[in-house]
Amino acid sequence: MIKRKFIYLFALSLFTVINCKAALVQTYQSDKPNEDGYEAWLRYQLVEDAEMLQQYRSMINSVIVAGDSPTIQAISDELSEALPQLLSKQLLFDNSFTDSGNLIIGTSGTSARINALGMSDELSQIGDEGYIIKSATIEGVENIIIAANTDLGLLYGTFAFLRELQTNADISSLSIQSSPKVQYRMLNHWDNLSRLVERGYAGLSLWEWGSLPEYNNPRYTDYARLNASIGINATAVNNVNADPKILTEQFLEKLVTLADAFRPYGIKLFVSINYQSPMRVGGLDTADPLDPDVRQWWKDKADQIYEMIPDFGGFLVKADSEGQPGPFAYDRDHAVGANVLAEAVEPHGGVVIWRAFVYSPEQEDRFREAYDEFVPLDGKFNDNVILQVKNGPIDFQPREPFSPLFGALPNTNTMLELQITQEYFGFDKHLAYQGTLFEEAIDSDTYAKGKGSTVGDVVSGNVFDYEYTGMAGVVNLGNTQNWTGHPFVQSSWYAFGRLAWDYTLTADEIADEWMRMTFTNNERFLDPIGEVMMQSREAGVNYRMPLGLTHLYAQGHHYGPAPWTANLPRPDWTAVYYHKADENGIGFDRTESGSNAVEQYHDEVEAMFRNVNTTPEDYLLWFHHVPWTHEMKSGKTLWEELIHKYYEGVEQVRWMQKKWESVKPFIDEQRFEQVKALLKIQEKDAVRWRNSCVLYFQSLSGLPIPDGLDKPVRDLEYYKSLERTVYVPAPRYND
């Protein structure tokens, strides 16, 4: 009897197991084919919304592209690839005008039909790169037209139109006019000639120096397409810690192939140069900018480059920073140093982008340095020099106040440098959409000319009358199939381009666009993952360095926590320099009782940050050293608030994991599983960050972990040991 019962139970459980497995497999499988992410946001899948699909199919029957240039060819190629897939229908691509709806693309010079619409007023408002997309009745037929003043404007308009379809927008009465708000919308690659990418976590450099110039890898064109689709029009292809060899004839020839691949897509090529190039590859015995031979060498070099690449953008320069050579060796300042290069490229219409990322071991407060070095030079740079300033005064930290240089240089073209690659945000492992960080930086009010002089307004030349304007994004693109490693790093690349085009867009709307194009238009995906994206950066701040803490990273690779770091050759490489925690309190005093860096801001901002009560709590420890008992707005003590934030960060990651789990049915398995696995790593890392910091700060404050929060099981020594034992793959620092 017992035996029979056992067999029966065994059979029943076997049956249940098999059934559950079947059920699991069933819900597990979505009907989406696997994707490797190579196409990024240019996926051109069949339009998901049936009503919209119907609308598009009826409105677009023939495509008419006027003109004849490599850019026009690129437009035709893109449309003939995209439209049949998006609409799953055959269209005419032979420029025939049908009486059932056409897509007409041209300038008033190349298209008689567009010319006949008499759009000169509208066209005069959009400049060289802008576009107009609208519905227009021509010869009694409803058409959609894309008009611009140049072929490049048409290309941007084409991608914008495709975006409408990809995001399933209603196109029945279109009226879009758009033009970029800054001139140079640029990527900075920190790629070494060895193909290791500094702070890049997505494989080797895209640029295959070994097979260039002969082999034009089609990936270069896909790179250009993706960038042009978000309005990027410039790229510096090599590391700012530059190898002088980039200027040798051998490498210039290789660069020609890249420039040729980028040109149809409107992307100008820049190179980062090493300031000692005249010596290192030019055979001179000095690189003094005022030496006549050096001046001549740069002129000759520029002439040679422009001979080979007529639309070459110019030079990007990191000088006298982190050991890079520069004009200081000859007792010349940054302006003298930059101007010699500027003179060399000026006859060819080139620019010199001079970076303001400088800090020396002598300074009491690294925050102050760039401002103190560059403000006295305002007005001394040639007109074709642009100063490139990182968003914050230190270095791409999870949260920084804006750099006081924005708004302090009325006579020096100033552009904004943002970081897309997640050097300080968990590399290719953590989900941390940077759109919100970019938006926060861009929207910061400098008060340079009273309220409403945001960083975006400054770098677009609205506050001061800059000759050249721009934004640069440091990217990690590599030869990994999906370009960025973590699929969501693509969203920060996308957001950078969209914001560089129009800094008034919001991170939220950009995230929505990106998700629709990259994953699906299904609201059941968009709602939860939109929330995840919008909170992801804040989660990263919370589990690493909330309330204005900075730079608690392990030295070198910047991945894991090491708030205990002290006694390095330079104090500003240690964590204790930044948090200044002891048994009484924590934070960097930048008021008059400390470094007084707050004085670098315009009055209104200075007043806000100078006063502990008006400093937003997110920035509190950036500007004030406060006792652990300091009362926060919530009524908690600073100590309690800090610990709660650390715990909240971990909970946010767990919440992100749950949200991700909920969208399994709506996307392909491959990308679902990748992100899921990465979130698991992120959760583990977040716990490590939290416990390391909480235990370390507790060792100083002596205060208990607030009630209701689980105490870490392991002790501080264990977390310290992880700094030595956990391997972190990071090119240049470990390999």
- Residues binding ligand BDP (CB under 6 A): 198-199, 240-241, 318, 322, 357, 395-396, 423
Residue in 302, 305, 184, 295 with CA at minimum distance from that of residue 255? 305
Nearer to ligand BDP, 457 or 572 (CB): 572
Nearer to ligand BDP, 498 or 558 (CB): 558
DSSP bridge partners of 270: 236, 314
Long-range contacts of 21-29 (CB under 8 A, 24+ apart): 27/664, 27/665, 28/664, 28/669, 29/669
Least Å distance between CB 733 and ligand BDP? Answer: 9
Nearer to ligand BDP, 198 or 457 (CB): 198
Residue in 353, 378, 364, 392 with CA at minimum distance from that of residue 601? 392
Catalytic residues: 322, 395, 423
Least Å distance between CB 474 and ligand BDP? Answer: 7
Least Å distance between CB 195 and ligand BDP? Answer: 16
- For 42-77, letters b (16+ CB in 10 Å) and e give bbbbebeeeebbebbbebbbbbbbbbeeebbebbbe
Nearer to ligand BDP, 288 or 365 (CB): 365
Least Å distance between CB 401 and ligand BDP? Answer: 17
Nearer to ligand BDP, 318 or 590 (CB): 318
Least Å distance between CB 398 and ligand BDP? Answer: 13
- Are 540 and 426 contacting, i.e. CB atoms less than 8 angstroms apart? yes
Nearer to ligand BDP, 91 or 370 (CB): 370
DSSP 295-308: HHHHHHHHHHHHHH
Residues 6+ apart with CB under 8 A from 677: none
DSSP 222-282: HHHHHHHHTT--EEE-S-SS--GGGGSHHHHHHHHHHHHHHGGGTPEEEEEE-TTHHHHTT
The SS3 call for residue 637 is strand
**Half-sphere exposure of 408 toward its Cβ, with a 13 Å CA cutoff?**
22
DSSP bridge partners of 106: 147
Nearer to ligand BDP, 390 or 630 (CB): 390
DSSP 432-464: --THHHHHHHHH-B--BTBSS-BHHHHHTTSSS
Least Å distance between CB 205 and ligand BDP? Answer: 15
- Are 461 and 145 contacting, i.e. CB atoms less than 8 angstroms apart? no
- How many angstroms separate the CA atoms of 32 and 53, rounded? 18
Least Å distance between CB 145 and ligand BDP? Answer: 44
Least Å distance between CB 422 and ligand BDP? Answer: 12
Nearer to ligand BDP, 318 or 688 (CB): 318
DSSP 595-609: T-GGGGS-HHHHHHH
- How many angstroms separate the CA atoms of 216 and 207, rounded? 10
Rounded to 5°, the CA angle 653-655-657 comes to: 70
